[in-house]
Amino acid sequence: MSTKPLLLTLGDACGIGPEIIVRAFLEGAAGNCVVVGDVQVLRRAVRALDRTLVLARIEAPADLAAVPDGCLAVLQPDGLPNDLAALPWGRVHAHCGAAAACCIESAVRLVQGGQASAVVTAPLHKEALAAAGIDFPGHTEMLQEMAAPPGATAPPVRMMLANDELRVVLVSIHVALRRAVDLVSFESVLQTIRIAHTSSAAWGQRQPRIAVAGLNPHAGEAGLFGDEEIRFIAPAIAEARRLGIDVHGPFAPDTVFMRARHAPGHAGEFDLVVAMTHDHGLIPVKYLGVDQGVNVTLGLPFVRTSPDHGTAFDIAGTGQADASSLKAALRMARRLVDGAQVQAGAPAPIAAS
């Protein structure tokens, strides 16, 4: 087991991120974690939960060793706006976007410097990020840019959303649907398959069974409903198979997720599904329940996980937020860091401890 702490970023200060961080710690799921965030915001979250918790402000992740048991360690980076705890719950504010980005940048620098083992990110708000002038549509794209050394090309990354029953890796993520269709190419599909295959070794599957969902209804029906499958997707699958990857498809996107689902009494035919667009891939996973879903960024030189839900402005500050997905993200981060091995071919639960 890694002795270096996990870094847990604050997320949007006016969303449920601070509350689920506090709740996860109080429920015993955030051991060996340092929160990169604002002390006053976290104190407000403790009050919202009507609980008692001592916060210990530290200067470096290594200081966690000196923090007494039962205290939540907080590393407050320089540059945070000083009014975060006074902003109203559940509202978009540029200062929250700026603070979320600042916490992420600090956490990434610390992991890259070898001071921590992984980054687990609480939800941020994309509109708040844009209001702060942060030119990224979300965590994935921001982390991709930060992963590259100065002047170097950013590494190719992909979003995987997973729970105990289903894992889905996406070719495109936060772009308009018209643009997402244009992003389906031989190169993008092959690269996604290769990243998914390589990353699977981290959870113990060196030869995962990969299914590829088509883009069009019935996977194009031999070109009747679109020819992207013929021109791009099927050739990419063929090339991946030539490279020794156990990949199949393209399959009709309205049925392949059921075939891949690992459920009690029903072992899935595949270990993960590659989907062409954001909603094609994420709706099936989220329908199975967001409480155990985990967002994993594949292709980064460090481990990053996140809950599979957003800021939930409608319940922020009420103390109702469920920390289950965050706890699953913490378990998954530890599992990936430790490189836990499972028996080849077993349908290992992605969110299992």
pLDDT digits (tens, 9 = 90+) for 27-76: 999 889 999 999 999 999 999 999 999 999 999 999 999 999 999 999 99
**Ranges 17-31, 184-198, 210-224, 233-247: which has the least confidence:** 210-224
Look at residue 127 and give its three-state secondary structure.
Answer: helix
pLDDT in tens, 78-117: 999 999 999 999 999 999 999 999 999 999 999 999 999 9
pLDDT confidence of residue 293: 83
Instruction: Express each pLDDT in 297-325 by its tens digit.
Output: 999 999 999 998 899 999 999 999 999 99
53 or 147, which is more confident: 53
pLDDT tier at 335 (50, 70, 90 boundaries)? confident
343 pLDDT band, cuts 50/70/90, is: very low
Q: List, for residues 92-101, the tens digit of each pLDDT value.
A: 999 999 999 9
pLDDT of residue 154: 85
Considering only 6-15, 17-26, 254-263, which range has the smallest mean pLDDT?
Answer: 254-263
Residue 1 has pLDDT above 60, yes or no: no
- Mean of all residue pLDDT scores within the chain: 90
Q: Is the pLDDT score of 270 beyond 80?
A: yes
- In order, the DSSP letters of 4-43 are SPEEEE---TTSSHHHHHHHHHHTT--TTEEEES-HHHHH
Q: What's the pTM?
A: 0.87
Q: What pLDDT does 234 receive?
A: 96
| Distance in angstroms (rounded) separating the CA atoms of residues 58 and 160 | 32
What pLDDT was estimated at residue 308? 87
Of 126, 129, 136, residue with least CA distance to 157: 136
Q: What is the pLDDT of residue 2?
A: 63
Query: In the chain, which residue ranges form alpha helices assigned H by DSSP?
Result: 17-26, 39-48, 94-112, 126-131, 139-147, 177-182, 186-199, 228, 234-242, 256-260, 278-287, 324-338
The per-residue pLDDT for 341 is 30
Whether the per-residue pLDDT at 163 is higher than 90: the answer is no
Across 252-271, average pLDDT: 91
